[in-house]
Amino acid sequence: MRSMRVAESKVLGYSIERVDEYDEIGLLRSKRHEVLCPQTGAVLASHATRRAAERYVIACELGQIEGCARAA
């Protein structure tokens, strides 16, 4: 299986990337949006849609989710 990452947007310092995974013959098997930590670049969360990923970032910044690294 092959994965392809595409930078979609930056929201309040957090990067949101779309990850497309393809099978052996090149057909799209899955698509997800990952939220990356503004300090370390580590994946904080994975969501089915970009909108859900953006909502996660806002919830992190409002302090509603434990373990989120706030953007500087």
Model confidence at 67: pLDDT above 70: no
Backbone angles phi, psi at 17, to 5 degrees: -120, 140
Mean pLDDT of the chain: 89
pTM: 0.82
User: pLDDT, tens digit, for every residue of 15-40?
Assistant: 999 999 999 998 989 999 999 998 89
Q: CA–CA distance from 31 to each of 12, 39, 63 (Å)? A: 23, 25, 28
Residue with more model confidence, 43 or 70: 43
